[in-house]
Amino acid sequence: MAWKVGLEPRVSIDSAIDIGGAAAIVAPAPLVTGQAPIAPEVLKGVGGGEAVTAGTKPHALRAAPSALKETGAWISGLFDGLLGGKKTAGAKEIETNASAMEDRAFEILEILTPKKIGQAEAAFNQWFGEIEGRSKSGERLTAMEHLTVLHIVKEGVFAKNEALSAYLPRMEKVLVDSDLRLTGKSHSIETIMSERLPRKLLRKESSDAQKIHNAIFASKNALVNMAKNYQPSATDPIVAAGILASLFTGTGVHMLAGAMHGYLFATLIEHVIHEKIGHATPASIEKLDKILSRFGPIGEAIKESIKTSAFSHGTIHHGSYGGSYVDRFAPRDADLPSEEREQQRDKKKTAIDNLARSRGDGTASQIFDSDYGRKLAHAVKTALYAAPAAAVVALFTAVIGNQLGADLGPLFVASSIATSLLFVPASNNLHPYLHMRREEALGKAGPLMRVFLESSYVSHIAQSHYLHHRHADMNHNLVAGADYALGYEPTPVDAIVALRKMKTFY
């Protein structure tokens, strides 16, 4: 999937500062480092460079000479030691070799997805030559190696370059042979490009291989993706049995129905608040001002609250992660020496702190209380604001349902209200961990949270949230659901590669 070429940010951070409250849309930047630009004003004197323009194509090949030297060094010995061992290697050695091959395939994806065409050719040629040789000798490729070649062909990475296009017939031949050995069936190259690998085969592969496969064959329809990507787990029968058992009691039915109703409200309200308040634009604030100005001081207070929230989230939170998705206040140059990097980090933090204080003590206090937008400044107050609205919606639904013979009572309403507040713990308790490396997050989390962070739900949310930081026009939820119908974008391969490199959740 390519990013939307030419899609300009709705509001720049510069504009946000000038108008005093609208959120900024952070433009895309190199996926492989998980970086995104921040306003020149914030970076002034901090060592930042020019911001990367929106619409960067993830499959344009880009590489610095130093990076090419490094990749050439490790690719030159790509399979040294992996294929030279005894044919009677033990299971542990075979597993280690397969893991190393998978890592190398990921590194090739990393080289090719963000670098200039031609500069990575030597590194790719070395890797592919080994792959092609093994394929010709009748050896079965790993799923990750197969998928890496498939992705390059499917996305047409080499198709428009005369020097690299010569690889295409060779890659197609490798794919056809590899597919036969993986699936046991003969397929045309067109079928291989368009049809997913069998679920039974994928079930035996690593989580990384499954995620790359799912990204390659992703649909614009999130529900279709979830159905096709689903892999049964040992706990699924227990969960299914619990849900079925609840349907045989009146109490269970009411609580389950209320929970489903509340979840729908939670995901919808989060989607609206995030887009209309967290990323409010100057135009939307101007329209809102015309309405709220009729309500005197109350309307003015509401408008100021929205402007503060937009500034805190869209400008400060997104800006504080402008250098790195998992390293707050980091400079965008990831190659700086550690000492200089820390100096630049301190300067950037000071610049952002000053920017926050320039908006007044009230705004600055909210920003610092929210940990620069990583959590809610006033979680309890937010819940108390949302609960009455959730109660009204639940009661209205119960009345309508009862008119239709559903017999929805207090349990339905209570369950709906409780579940409708899910966006509060999602913002306050889950969101901070998404911006950490996995090791750090699991070290800080409690036992239950660690289990939750390792779940497939968090994996899905982590991918969506990263895409949101890459391009804030993708209004993806922490409580998944509403975004599926109101603006969903599937996770592309290069996002998986970037998140894996950052060693965070994906």
pLDDT tens digits along 464-498: 999 999 998 899 999 999 999 998 999 999 999 99
Q: Quick one: pLDDT at residue 472? A: 86
Cα-Cα end-to-end distance for the chain: 17
Worst-scoring range by mean pLDDT, 121-125, 309-313, 369-373?
Answer: 121-125
Catalogue the long-range contacts made by 288-292 (C-beta closer than 8 Å, 24 or more residues apart): none
Query: Alpha helices, DSSP H only, in 77-221?
Result: 91-112, 121-136, 143-154, 162-165, 167-183, 189-194, 199-202, 207-216
Residue that has been written with the tokens 């000038």 in this structure: 18
User: Residue 411: what are its φ and ψ, rounded to 5°?
Assistant: -65, -40
Sorting pLDDT into bands at 50, 70 and 90, what band is 247? confident
Q: Above 50 in pLDDT, residue 23?
A: no
User: Residue 233: what are its φ and ψ, rounded to 5°?
Assistant: -125, 170
Q: How far apart are CA 56 and CA 160, in angstroms?
A: 18
Sorting pLDDT into bands at 50, 70 and 90, what band is 112? confident
Q: Which of 306, 425, 440, 325 is nearest to 375 (CA)?
A: 425
In angstroms, the Cα distances linking 182 to 18, 108, 135, 138 are: 58, 21, 12, 12
Neighbour tally for 64: CB within 10 Å: 12
The packing angle between helices 143-154 and 167-183, to 10°, is 140
Q: Above 70 in pLDDT, residue 168?
A: yes
Q: Above 50 in pLDDT, residue 10?
A: no
Across 452-466, b (16+ Cβ under 10 Å) vs e yields ebeeeebbbbbbbbb
Phi-psi category of residue 474: left, alpha or beta, with phi > 0 → left and psi -120 to 50 → alpha: beta
Give the mean model confidence (pLDDT) for residues 269-283: 92
Query: How many C-alpha atoms does 156 have within 13 Å on its Cβ side?
Result: 5
Sorting pLDDT into bands at 50, 70 and 90, what band is 233? confident
Q: Above 60 in pLDDT, residue 366?
A: yes
Q: How far apart are CA 498 and CA 60, in angstroms?
A: 15
Q: Above 70 in pLDDT, residue 387?
A: yes
Both tokens of 33, joined, read 């480092």
Worst-scoring range by mean pLDDT, 45-49, 363-367, 409-413, 434-438?
Answer: 45-49
Q: Which of 127, 31, 7, 11 is nearest to 325 (CA)?
A: 31
Q: How far apart are CA 99 and CA 143, in angstroms?
A: 11
Residue that has been written with the tokens 């990323």 in this structure: 279
Give the mean model confidence (pLDDT) for residues 324-345: 93
Q: How far apart are CA 235 and CA 386, in angstroms?
A: 33
Give the mean model confidence (pLDDT) for residues 103-130: 77
Between 444 and 24, the more confident residue is 444
- DSSP secondary structure of 334-366: TTS-HHHHHHHHHHHHHHHHHHHHTT-HHHHHH
Q: How far apart are CA 276 and CA 42, in angstroms?
A: 24
Q: How far apart are CA 50 and CA 346, in angstroms?
A: 20
> C-alpha angle with apex 155: 150 to 156, nearest 5 degrees?
100
Query: How many C-alpha atoms does 166 have within 13 Å on its Cβ side?
Result: 7
Rg of the chain, C-alpha, whole Å: 25
Neighbour tally for 190: CB within 10 Å: 8
Q: Quick one: pLDDT at residue 119? A: 60
Output the average pLDDT for the chain. Answer: 81
Both tokens of 292, joined, read 């709220």
